Amino acid sequence: MNKIAIVRCEHFNAAHRLHNKNWSDVKNKEVFGKCNNPNYHGHNYDLEVKVIGACDPETGYVIDTKILSNLIKDKVLDRFDHKNLNLDTQEFKDLNPTAENIAIVIYDLLAPELASGLALKIKLYETPRNYVEYPY
Query: What residue ranges bind Ni ion (CB under 5 A)?
Result: 35
CB of 44 to Ni ion, least distance (A): 11
- The active-site residue out of 16, 35, 43, 91 is 35
Give me the amino acid identity at 133: E
Annotated active-site residue 82? The verdict is: yes
Ordered strands of the 130-134 beta sheet: 83-84, 3-16, 41-54, 119-127, 130-134
CB of 118 to Ni ion, least distance (A): 31
Per DSSP, the three-state class of 52 is strand
CB of 45 to Ni ion, least distance (A): 10
- C-alpha triplet 65, 11, 119: angle, nearest 5°: 45
- The active-site residue out of 30, 41, 82, 133 is 82
Query: Catalytic amino acids?
Result: 35, 82, 126
